[in-house]
Amino acid sequence: MFDPLGIGVGVGKGLELTRLKSRERECESELEKEVEMESWSALDSEIKKKKSECYADIDSGLWGGHCKSSSIAKENCALKCLSPACYELIYESDPLEEGEKDYIRSQEFKYCMYK
């Protein structure tokens, strides 16, 4: 394409290059999200397996009678079993209470275990 004034020839290619780079960044970001979600999914499976083992230990009495006194006591003990450091950081100062569902802290706990 001939452009006698030199306007527009480079501009079109520059815009196209900018769009391509932008799309490349979007694709990289999408890929990173997919990898992170796969990691979270794998972590969920690991946590469920380990939590089942913790429940078995609690039921057998390895964690003491106080862990079997109620379902919420059992849950707090299971969280402590999963990760004492994360339990201390997230739940120790304010343990779960009967009937409480704390989605935010459960995500924080999972993230703590993930890092």
Answer yes or no: are the C-beta atoms of 67 and 77 closer than 8 Å.
Answer: yes
Residue 96 lies in a domain: yes
Integer angstrom CA distances of residue 74 from 24, 79, 104: 48, 9, 20
Among 13-22, 26-35, 89-98, 105-114, the range with the most confident prediction by mean pLDDT is: 89-98
> What pLDDT is attached to residue 28?
60
Over range 69-77, report the average pLDDT: 95
Residue 25: count other Cβ atoms within 10 Å of its Cβ. 10
Confidence tier at 11 by pLDDT (50, 70, 90): low
Range of the domain at 14: 9-114
Residue 4 lies in a domain: no
Residue 110 lies in a domain: yes
Spatial CA neighbour of 95 closest among 114, 112, 110, 74: 74
Domain count across the chain: 1
Mean residue pLDDT of the chain comes to 80
Integer angstrom CA distances of residue 89 from 78, 80, 112: 15, 10, 9
Residue 39 clears pLDDT 70, i.e. is over it: no
pTM exceeding the 0.85 threshold for the entire prediction: no
